[in-house]
Amino acid sequence: MSATFDVIVVGSGITGGWAAKELTEAGLKVLMIERGRKIEHSVDYETELKNPWDMPFRGFGDAELYAREYAVQMRNRHFNEFSQSHFVNDAQNPYSVEDGTDFSWFRSYQLGGRSLTWGRQSYRWSDYDFGANKADGYGTDWPIRYADLAPWYDKVESFIGVSGAKEGIATLPDGQFQPPMALNVVEAFAREKIRAKWPDRVITIGRTANLTEAKDGRAPCQNRNICMRGCSFGAYFSTQSSTLPAAQKTGNLTLLTDSLVEQVDYDPASKRVTGVRVLNTKTGARNTHTAKVVFLNAGSFNSVHLLLRSRSEAFPHGLANSSGVLGTHIMDHASTLSVAALIPGFEAHTTFGNRPTGVFMPRFRNLDKKDGDFTRGYSFQGGALQSGWTAAKRMAGIGADFKRKATEIGPWRMVLVGFAESLPRASNRLTLDPVKTDAHGAPLLRIAFAHGENEHKALADAKAEATKMMEAIGGHVMFGFDEPGQGGSAIHEMGGARMGHDPATSVLDKYSRAHDVPNLFVTDGAQMASSATQNPSLTYMALTARACDHAVGLLKSGAV
Amino acid sequence: MSAVDRRSVLGGSASLVAASLLWSDIARGAAAVPPAASLRLLTRVCDLVIPRTSAPGAVDAKVPGFVALALKHGLEGTLGPKALGAPVGNDYLGWLGSALGKDFMAQPPRVQTARLTQIDAAAYAPNAAPSPWRTLKALILIGYFTSEAGATKALRYVPLPGRFDPDLQLKPGTKSISNDWTAVDFG
């Protein structure tokens, strides 16, 4: 029987959109399947233009409802009454954790997935990152290096639009940037002071997938900083604003929404996957769709979940899992507020506009020499800000004078949040819950995760160094922490189907293709073999574009 | 009429008007609506915290209705089983009535102000134990500065900045921007 499609792409988020774009533009017939509802660009951003007073709970949301139905998602700083429809209902979408695991799994099940709600920070990885596993022995060696990915980073940045400043830093390669957003007056001061004392510590403006120049029918960022409601200007990269229209323009894309992929079908005779089984979550109907190639882009944990569920006689422990490492070595950056400090001397200064990015300081520890009592390192993200009306919650007083003070712009503060590299460990893993099932009868995904001693040491160092830096710029340190937030809180969960040289110790080859199944690709965060200290989404996109190029070659040559 | 009396009358009439408006503002479920006496008290307290000045006050902005709704739905952790400083049964308005005294509404504004100031000062004193008053005051502030009157008249509201200026001179008396979301989150 001939396949209906050339390629099936499971998931429509950051990497699913990229796969759809690249594959359709190569002339392939693609079916993209999304489990959630359709959200049409601009038309369906229902809260985008709402004012706080238009909302029943003024944007803060119904706390009683959240405790009952959004108990995990409500821990996300960006989850609120304006954005809640872009996050899952936890009560309807359960997962389980092993005893002792405290893990927040933040999810967005809808067309566009988390591309609608992501933090947009876009950083290249360097060979300090791709070479890390080989250098210190944690995890398995990446089968690629920076040079393999550099042209794909170029391609992705040029298409999605990343604003940023070129800095010439070895640990944070420069890219194809739109003009940077500006450091504010205090951040600019901190950059100069800190660099004068520590030449290897650079505060740069966050490299963000928010446009500073119009591009491909998308308008530049309006500095509202309400991205997660959806942006009718198309000013930040999302599937809707960027990759989906490109894919649709080819005429080669078929899109299914409200369609949950329950299993990837494997044919032991041909040793190929043949397609997927889909449940229409609105009608309850089940269908099978066939294709020559399948791309999994369901999000790191959900792609692993789907592979684990796709058991067969040939793969009794999960599809493409002859190695037995499927589900293992999951990671999430260990992050915490390393320091918050008052910065005096700028009382006569302020800013205008809601810049949708902060600052970034790339890793400086344990690079060409070991200078910490831990391996690898951490980066900082943060920024300088002035308080507004919510500061009055901490202010004594009542009456007209209190009211006047509550309207004033508050003092400058600077915060640095440490992001420590999460080492790949076999004990941090995903499995199928042996007992609990979802509403459709499928086993729940079960998460076992804990940050290790190395992450704790790194964050202790981050707190100490962040404190020194704030003191060096004349700041009065208020507080800081060295305990990581719970697993998942960085929203950089990744790994579980790692890429590697050896089919005995990894799931995917250097082109994100399953060692065991030549027409199956996994190009979301599941493929990651290490976590680095930068936000990973740009790397997922570059790896996806590279994998698509390889898949197109295989299809056109008849190899799959 | 003396200045004190005039304020008293104004305060009282504001309370009456607001109390009548509250019933339409509070979400469905009559059982959860606070007793009328509690709402009158809340209205008077909102007026004392954020009075009408050159900008509308908390009662003009219907803050008492918002606070009642917020308490019903647990904003600021007010339905939490272990909220710091939570009163018995999470009965914030009952606590407020007890703290201010049974005869509070009958007192002249000077006395009312003194009593509330005393509670406020105790709640914000160094090393003070967590107080329900700080939670109530937080809800009053949220209700006011996210109302149209508070957000746009007491503060500046800029839904479409269109640009980012990284360094501007801050002149004394400049009002903050109510929708500076970073400040709202981290302020």
For residue A21 the two structure tokens come to 């774009």
Is the pLDDT at A209 greater than 80, yes or no? yes
| A199 backbone dihedrals φ, ψ, rounded to 5° | -60, -20
Higher pLDDT, A130 or B25: A130
Mean pLDDT of chain A: 98
A104 with A148, same domain: the answer is: yes
Is the pLDDT at A1 greater than 80, yes or no? no
A396 to chain B, any CB pair closer than 8 A? The answer is yes
Asked, for residue A441, whether it belongs to a domain, the answer is: yes
Cβ pair A9, A259 in contact under 8 A = no
Judged by CB atoms closer than 8 Å, whether chains meet at A410 and B183 is answered as: yes
Which of these three, A486, A511, A538, is where a domain ends? Answer: A486
Residue B81: per-residue pLDDT: 75
Secondary structure of residue B116 in the 3-state scheme:
helix
Q: Which residues of B touch A395 (CB under 8 A)?
A: 124
Secondary structure of residue B173 in the 3-state scheme:
coil
Digit-coded pLDDT (tens) for A374-418: 999 999 999 999 999 999 999 999 999 999 999 999 999 999 999
A429 with A441, same domain: the answer is: yes
A182 with A288, same domain: the answer is: no
Rounded distance, CA B23 to CA B28, Å?
10
Residue B30: per-residue pLDDT: 38
Asked, for residue A439, whether it belongs to a domain, the answer is: yes
Residue B84: per-residue pLDDT: 79
- In chain A, the number of structural domains is 2
A444 with A470, same domain: the answer is: no
Cβ pair B39, B21 in contact under 8 A = no
A409 with A462, same domain: the answer is: yes
A473 with A354, same domain: the answer is: yes
Q: Which residues of B touch A398 (CB under 8 A)?
A: 48-49, 113, 116-117, 120
A288 with A204, same domain: the answer is: no
Domain of residue A104 covers 1-44+87-161+238-333+425-449+494-560
Q: For residue A101, which amino acid is it? A: T
A22 with A103, same domain: the answer is: yes
- Residues of A numbered 163-192 whose beta carbons fall under 8 angstroms of chain B's beta carbons: which are they? 181-185, 188
Identity of the residue in B138, B151, B182 whose CB atom sits nearest the CB atom of A52: B151
A311 with A299, same domain: the answer is: yes
Rounded distance, CA B138 to CA A155, Å?
48
Strand bridging mode A359-361 / A259-267: unpaired
Residue B32: per-residue pLDDT: 56
Judged by CB atoms closer than 8 Å, whether chains meet at B73 and A51 is answered as: no
Asked, for residue A110, whether it belongs to a domain, the answer is: yes
Identity of the residue in A58, A224, A391 whose CB atom sits nearest the CB atom of B187: A391
What would the mean pLDDT of A302-327 be, rounded to a whole number? 98
Is the pLDDT at A92 greater than 90, yes or no? yes
Residue B27: per-residue pLDDT: 40
User: What are the domain boundaries of chain B?
Assistant: 3-148
Residue A303: per-residue pLDDT: 98
The CATH number that applies at residue A122 is 3.50.50.60
**Nearest residue of A to residue B136, measured between CA atoms:** A393
User: How many CB atoms are located within 10 Å of the residue A42 CB?
Assistant: 14
Q: Comparing C-alpha atoms, which of A385, A65, A26 is closest to residue A225? A: A385
Residue with tokens 């533009």: A25
Asked, for residue A14, whether it belongs to a domain, the answer is: yes
Asked, for residue A59, whether it belongs to a domain, the answer is: no
Judged by CB atoms closer than 8 Å, whether chains meet at B168 and A350 is answered as: yes
Residue A195: per-residue pLDDT: 98
Bridge partners (DSSP) of residue A273 are: A266
Digit-coded pLDDT (tens) for A332-383: 999 999 999 999 999 999 999 999 999 999 999 999 999 999 999 999 999 9
Secondary structure of residue A177 in the 3-state scheme:
strand
Label residue A10 left, alpha or beta by phi (over 0 means left) and psi (-120 to 50 means alpha).
beta
A29 with A118, same domain: the answer is: yes
What would the mean pLDDT of A174-186 be, rounded to a whole number? 98
Rounded distance, CA B127 to CA A203, Å?
36
A264 with A121, same domain: the answer is: yes
Q: What is the pLDDT along chain B (187 residues), one digit of tens a residue?
A: 333 333 333 333 444 444 444 444 444 433 456 789 999 999 999 999 999 999 999 999 999 999 999 999 999 999 987 777 899 999 999 999 999 999 999 999 999 999 999 999 999 999 999 999 999 999 999 999 999 999 999 999 999 999 999 999 999 999 999 999 999 998 8
A216 with A230, same domain: the answer is: yes
- Residues of B numbered 146-175 whose beta carbons fall under 8 angstroms of chain A's beta carbons: which are they? 146-148, 151, 154-155, 157-170, 173-175
Cα A100 from chain centre? 25
Which of these three, A434, A464, A486, is where a domain ends? Answer: A486
For residue A481 the two structure tokens come to 């922490």
Q: Which residues of A touch B53 (CB under 8 A)?
A: 400, 403-404
Q: Report helix angle B63-73 to B36-49, nearest 10.
A: 120
The answer to pTM > 0.90 is yes
